[in-house]
Amino acid sequence: MEPAKLTEISSLGEFGLIDRLTKNLGPSLNNSTLKGVGDDCAVMRYKDTDVLVSTDLLLEGVHFDLTYVPLKHLGYKAIVVNLSDIYAMNGRPRQVTVSLGISARFAVEHIETLYEGMRLACQIYGVDLVGGDTTASKQGLVISVTAIGDVEPGKEVYRSGAKDTDLICVSGDLGAAYMGLQLLEREKNVGAGQKNFTPDFAGKEYLVERQLKPEARKDIIEALATKGVLPTSMIDVSDGLSSELLHICHDSHVGCRVYEDRIPIDYQTAVMAEEIGMNLVTAALNGGEDYELLFTVPLHDHEAVSKMEGVKIIGHITKEDLGYRLITRDGNEMPLKAQGWNHLQ
Amino acid sequence: MEPAKLTEISSLGEFGLIDRLTKNLGPSLNNSTLKGVGDDCAVMRYKDTDVLVSTDLLLEGVHFDLTYVPLKHLGYKAIVVNLSDIYAMNGRPRQVTVSLGISARFAVEHIETLYEGMRLACQIYGVDLVGGDTTASKQGLVISVTAIGDVEPGKEVYRSGAKDTDLICVSGDLGAAYMGLQLLEREKNVGAGQKNFTPDFAGKEYLVERQLKPEARKDIIEALATKGVLPTSMIDVSDGLSSELLHICHDSHVGCRVYEDRIPIDYQTAVMAEEIGMNLVTAALNGGEDYELLFTVPLHDHEAVSKMEGVKIIGHITKEDLGYRLITRDGNEMPLKAQGWNHLQ
């Protein structure tokens, strides 16, 4: 943190800080946003739609490390991961609220930088920041984001609708965000104690970007709508493909078969896995933080999803008693297990 | 914390803990609750109503001290303070989401106790707990609650609608929660280091209750509706009467005159202020955490609000250039200032 020209938060007070952070929010992007920041509540007007709400809590030292996470990226990611949950219901995000717990080592400018990233994500995804809470923290930075969205009644896609013979599809590629985290941690350790250390990300920029600045798959939701494909179940990949697929199977009372050679993995992910001696498929199955969409569609949508850019069919749903299986490249069957992230273990 | 029979959270994992906490939630209390805990989002169906969202972040060591705040009360209060914001818009709360950051010293049973208080508040106020996030914390307990409610379009009451000559009304009494906090802090200091210390709250039970188990004024919102009174502006008293009244004046571009002898103060509050040598009016004006409703009504509603149980007319709105005035018992005028709580100063 640069020493010059920083403004102490105490010099503004809570209301002054909120004014400063929210004065650049601009006009509402959604007709449903009736009243944003500045009253006891935000007010939204939805007609003939269902309302979706999702919330995430991000804590310094658990979910992010400010040694290598720039505040602007952190703000961007904090918004995006919540929007991802709205898309995963086949919804459209419209509003977010942001609560911040700010410890004494942060200056106004730091929080403005964090907010800049949040505003940028809001603009890109067409979402209004409509409220929140700002308080001191004795415990590092605390970020709580709640996203509100809407979906046409009957078009919401739950985790529980997958049926026997459905195709299992996933967007983008998997494991890169996890490899990005390994890379950032490695460079942090290499650079520890060195002044003016420059981390080496050459040839691995994609991994860093996937970790620091993930995107939510708005484009996939729009493409599905355009093609008239309504998934039978959907979830976003935050904890890793295995964990999410098991959520769908559990909630839908079905089994699954996933083909190892179908799992989409980027070249940089493979290189990094090789470098650190980690099994590539393990990384792709359990890495987490990909924020891709995992969904199932009926067999008759095979042609439509086959032609969708950025979507891959990785397997199919089976009867529940057939279990949860990974078919390896050499044709063996392995049980699919959820390792995923588990911050509580 | 009792040593026996506690379950380590790590033995359940995140999903196990969520299952255990949410299995007793029971059926939905609101028709608008389509889907609660267990998917990417909660789903709500509102028709012909406006949707309200409010969020609060509560941090251990800043907003609560577990030395004297029982976890069940904390859970209850965390919900109630959010519902209070929905009522302050003339709305009805319908759903809440709860995010928890849990540090290693808490066992499953502790979090269940916290949740019990939350569930109790939800039951009493007719609200559904529909989702949230649960994570480890390295920094003490973190609680983030988001409340969702609805209001008939056109019936929302903002801070900005107060008009010259409007009457200023407040529910309940003020300053007791602040005095409760002083009392709890005093007894904590007296008992520090003593085993089996029993704090002395004799004759001051009301103060302790106001601090530890505040209520939101659902009854006042219902009474206003019954009497056909639509306030011109409203806010809940969380930061202290002065601070809230100045919010209304600022947002409505008006001034105000408040009469010291009209400010409702409980006898126990007065006794405690005397004991600790604090000016009673200062406590009532700036104490905070009362969660009463402060609102303005047109003059023609004078009779209706005069007859309302638990509501007191404490002054009136003036033109903006007349400023913000407290008329003391001896007829002097004092400028009204916001001290309030300011966690960031």
Q: What is the ipTM of this complex?
A: 0.90
The closest alpha carbon to B168, from B12, B312, B11, belongs to B312
Q: Which residues of A touch B14 (CB under 8 A)?
A: 342-345
* Contact yes or no for A139 and B136 at CB 8 A: no
Least confident stretch, A25-29, A228-232, B220-224, B291-295:
A25-29
* Lateral strand order in the sheet of A33-35: A33-35, A42-46, B49-59, B142-151, B92-102, B128-136
Please tell me whether residue B281 adopts helix, strand or coil conformation: helix
* Contact yes or no for A53 and B97 at CB 8 A: yes
Instruction: Find the angle CA(B109)-CA(B113)-CA(B117) to the nearest 5 degrees.
Output: 165
Please tell me whether residue A146 adopts helix, strand or coil conformation: strand
Closest residue in A to B93 (Cα–Cα): A41
Instruction: Find the angle CA(A58)-CA(A63)-CA(A69) to the nearest 5 degrees.
Output: 105
The answer to whether A292 contacts chain B (CB < 8 Å) is: no
Residue A1 confidence (pLDDT): 47
Q: Which residues of B touch A18 (CB under 8 A)?
A: none
Q: Give the Å distances, CA to CA, from A223 to A292, A305, B63, B127, B327.
A: 14, 10, 46, 36, 65
CA distance A97 to B55: 7
> Closest approach of chain B CAs to the CA of A186, in angstroms?
22
Share the mean pLDDT of chain B. Answer: 91
CA distance B85 to B216: 9
Residue A38 confidence (pLDDT): 77
Q: What is the pLDDT of residues B154-169, one digit of tens each?
A: 999 999 999 999 999 9
CA distance A189 to A306: 43
**Model pTM?**
0.92
Statement: residue A84 has pLDDT above 80: yes
Please tell me whether residue B240 adopts helix, strand or coil conformation: coil
CA distance B116 to A238: 29
Residue A72 amino acid letter: K
Question: How many beta-carbon pairs below 8 A join chains A and B?
Answer: 235
Q: What is the DSSP string of B132-199?
A: EEEEE-SSS-EEEEEEEEEE-TT----TT---TTPEEEEES-SSHHHHHHHHHHHHHHHHTT-TT---
The closest alpha carbon to B201, from B176, B238, B172, belongs to B176
pLDDT interval class at A343 (50, 70, 90): very low
Residue A106 amino acid letter: F
> Closest approach of chain A CAs to the CA of B224, in angstroms?
18
Residue ranges with strand state E in A16-112:
33-35, 42-46, 49-59, 92-102
Pick from A45, A63, A345: CB nearest B13: A345
Handedness of CA B281, B286, B287, B292 (dihedral sign): positive
Cβ under 8 Å to B: A residues 92-151: 95, 97, 99-102, 130-140, 142, 144, 146, 148-149, 151
Closest residue in A to B107 (Cα–Cα): A344
* Lateral strand order in the sheet of A233-236: A233-236, A293-297, A167-171, A311-319, A254-259, A324-327, A333-335
CA distance A35 to B52: 9
The answer to whether A5 contacts chain B (CB < 8 Å) is: no
Q: SS in 3 state form for A189-237?
A: HHHCCCCCCCCCCCCCHHHHHHHHCCCCCHHHHHHHHHCCCCCCEEEEC
CA distance B144 to A134: 12
* Contact yes or no for B151 and A43 at CB 8 A: yes
Q: What is the dihedral of CA A89, A91, A94, A98, to 10 degrees?
A: 10
Closest residue in A to B40 (Cα–Cα): A85
Q: What is the pLDDT of residues B35-70, one digit of tens each?
A: 878 788 888 888 888 999 999 999 999 999 999 999
A330: number of Cβ within 10 Å: 7
* Contact yes or no for B46 and A48 at CB 8 A: no
Q: Answer for the pair A52, B41: CB distance below 8 angstroms, yes or no.
A: yes
Statement: residue A52 has pLDDT above 50: yes
* Contact yes or no for A47 and B48 at CB 8 A: yes
The alpha carbons of chain A give a radius of gyration, in whole angstroms, of 21
B325 backbone dihedrals φ, ψ, rounded to 5°: -125, 140
* Per-residue b or e along B212-233, where b marks 16 or more CB atoms closer than 10 Å to that residue's CB: bbbbbbbebbebbeeeebbbbb
Closest residue in A to B146 (Cα–Cα): A146
Q: What is the pLDDT of residues A208-267, one digit of tens each?
A: 999 999 999 999 999 999 999 999 999 999 989 999 999 999 999 999 999 999 999 999
Q: Give the Å distances, CA to CA, from A5 to A2, A110, A111, B113.
A: 8, 12, 14, 46
Residue A195 confidence (pLDDT): 81
Q: Answer for the pair B54, B146: CB distance below 8 angstroms, yes or no.
A: yes
- For chain A, percent of residues with pLDDT exceeding 90: 72
CA distance A227 to A225: 5
CA distance B236 to A92: 32
Closest residue in A to B131 (Cα–Cα): A54
* Contact yes or no for A14 and B342 at CB 8 A: yes
* Lateral strand order in the sheet of A49-59: A128-136, A92-102, A142-151, A49-59, B42-46, B33-35
Q: Answer for the pair B239, B341: CB distance below 8 angstroms, yes or no.
A: yes
